Structure 1
Amino acid sequence: MLLALLLCYGGFTALCLSMDRHHADLLGRKPTARRRQVMRVGGWLLLTLSLWAGVSANGWGLGLVEWFAVLMLSALLLVLLLPYRPRLALSLAALGLIASPVCAVLT
């Protein structure tokens, strides 16, 4: 489930960065329309990949339940980090996306 958690957190962070306000807060500038669209598509793609990772690890019955738990945990972590430690939130997403291929190979 670590892979699903890493992908969910990265997906939510990408969706967060597709919004003008959060993009400006985290990166210091407003996103272009193209970048906003890429972030939105990338975020949904990462969330879909996290669903695949959760279901492939444990089947549809338990995998779906664990995926919803991972969704809530990653969203809560992002919501709690954004107002107080925005750079840490962005760094964790980058680290998670770098570590996710390693986690996929190990599972």
Structure 2
Amino acid sequence: MLLALLMCYAGFTALCLSTDRHHGELLHSKPTPTRRQGLRVGGWLLLMVAIWPAVFAAGWSQGLVQWCAVLMLSALLLVLLLPYRPRLALILAGLGLLASPVAVFALF
């Protein structure tokens, strides 16, 4: 479940960074159209791929339910961090992507 959580949080952060407002707040620049499209595709890809660790860990019936719970938890965390600690939200997404390969080994 840790891997699914890390991937969902990074995916939501990428989708958040694809907007002009949040990209300007967090990175102090306006995203180029290529970067915006890359962040959108990457964000949706991370959210969709996060299904597989949840299903692998708990099977289809419980895995999909756990994936929905992880989606809600990661979105809630991002929504709560953005107004008060926007830089922390970005740092957590980066650390989550760095920790994802380690979380893969927790599946086995």
TM-score range, shorter chain: over 0.9
**2:78 matches 1:78:** yes
SS at match of 1:14: helix
Within-5 A mapping of 1:11-90:
11-90=11-90
Computed over aligned residues only, the root mean square deviation of the Cα atoms, in angstroms, reads: 0.6
Identity of aligned residues (%): 71
Paired positions, count: 107
1:65 Cα deviation (Å)?
0.4
Unaligned runs of 5+ in 1: none
Give structure 1 regions of 4+ aligned residues with deviation exceeding 6 angstroms.
Answer: none
SS at match of 1:31: coil
- What is the TM-score of this pair, normalised by structure 1? 0.98
Partners of 2:52 and 2:12 in 1: how far apart?
16
**1:51 partner letter:** I
1:77 Cα deviation (Å)?
0.1
Unaligned runs of 5+ in 2: none
1:105 Cα deviation (Å)?
2.1
Partners of 1:84 and 1:106 in 2: how far apart?
32
- What is the TM-score of this pair, normalised by structure 2? 0.97
